[in-house]
Structure 1
Amino acid sequence: ALPPFDATRLRPEHLERDADGDVVFTPGPSTTNLNGTTHGAVLSGLAAAAQAAYPGAADARPLSTTVEFLRPVQITDWLRARTVAIRDGRRFRTLGTELVLPDGRTAVRAVGTALRR
Structure 2
Amino acid sequence: MLSTADGKVVFVGRKGDYGKTVILKHGGKYQTLYAHLSKYGKAVRKGRWVQQGQIIGYVGSTGLSTSPHLHYELWRNGKRTNPLKLKLPRAASVNQNEKTEFLRKASAFSAELQRLVGA
TM bin, normalised by shorter chain, reads under 0.3
Q: TM-score, normalised by structure 1?
A: 0.25
Larger Rg: 2
Higher strand share: 1
Q: TM-score, normalised by structure 2?
A: 0.24
